[in-house]
Amino acid sequence: MASISVNLEEIPSESLMNELLRRMKCAPKPEKRLILIGPPGSGKGTQSPIIKDEHCLCHLATGDMLRAAVSAKTPLGIKAKEAMDKGELVSDDLVVGIIDEAMKKPSCKKGFILDGVPRTVAQAQKLDEMLERQGVKIDKVLDFAIDDAVLEERISGRWIHPASGRSYHTKFAPPRVSGVDDVTGEPLIQRKDDTAAVLKSRLESFHRQTQPVINYYSKKGIVATLHAEKPLTDVTDEVRKVLS
């Protein structure tokens, strides 16, 4: 693995202190490996940063990774773009490859949140094989159950900060200043696939290819079903109960 040398003198003291405090807080936390499954707009990306901070996990969102690859026009991004624009799934091998690589990051030491993967039973089986080789397993699958009818309003009002993956909603989670990310002050954008027409095919893919993944994990007795149609903070409370 290539090593990156960092000159610690160049890093502001406040950042170093914050990182030190974070590591001290995280040291006693138990390891956790979680999967978040739900249709587009069900709240996976909204709850993930909260779970990540509270449990010291890394957040691996295949949608964010693929969008970054598309905008950087990498070979992976060029292959993924066509499927993503149409609301179809990218091939299993591409997705499993990026997850395998991402899990090796030091930030995944205490475990991970998989957001948007596995999306097919084949991906779930490949993931299980990968984890078995590492001698670990998935602890919990959070099923963001919600009626399709609620999702169009959520998707059409969503604005995202592409660099961090933070998402906002004009009605349900507005930024402090309209059109601007709360943390960096950078502009927010709307996703290309967040249209009513593409949502229809994303939902169709979800019901046909991803719903069976919930059954796959139900047989292992590790699925917790959430009421994802509830207000944001109520869903956070449900997640906390499940993971406590």
Per CB under 6 A, residues contacting ligand AP5 are 38, 40-46, 62-63, 66, 83-84, 87-90, 95, 116-117, 119, 123, 154, 157-158, 167-169, 172-173, 202, 231-232, 235
Instruction: Show the DSSP H helices in 106-195 as ranges.
Output: 121-134, 151-156
Indicate if 191 belongs to the active site. yes
Is 44 among the residues known to form the active site? yes
Given a contact cutoff of 8 angstroms between Cβ atoms, the answer to whether 47 and 36 are in contact is yes
Q: In angstroms, give the least distance from the CB of 173 to ligand AP5.
A: 4
Q: How far is the CB of 118 from ligand AP5 (least distance, A)?
A: 6
For residues 26 and 50, which CB has a smaller minimum distance to ligand AP5 in the complex? Answer: 50
Q: For this structure, is 158 an active site residue?
A: yes
Q: What is the CA radius of gyration of the chain?
A: 18
* Minimum separation from the CB atom of position 234 to ligand AP5 (A): 7
Q: Which is nearer to ligand AP5, 32 or 79 (CB)?
A: 79
Q: Which of 33, 44, 126, 166 is catalytic?
A: 44
Q: Which of 86, 110, 140, 191 is catalytic?
A: 191
Closer of 56 and 206 to ligand AP5 (Cβ): 206
Strand partners, 161: 166
Residue 208 designated active-site: no
Catalytic residue among 33, 52, 81, 119: 119
Beta carbon of residue 50, minimum distance to ligand AP5 (angstroms, whole number): 11
Taking the CA of residue 89 as centre, how many other CA atoms within 13 Å lie in the half-sphere pointing to its CB?
A: 23
State which residue, 52 or 158, has the beta carbon closest to ligand AP5.
158
Q: Which residues are catalytic?
A: 44, 119, 158, 191, 202
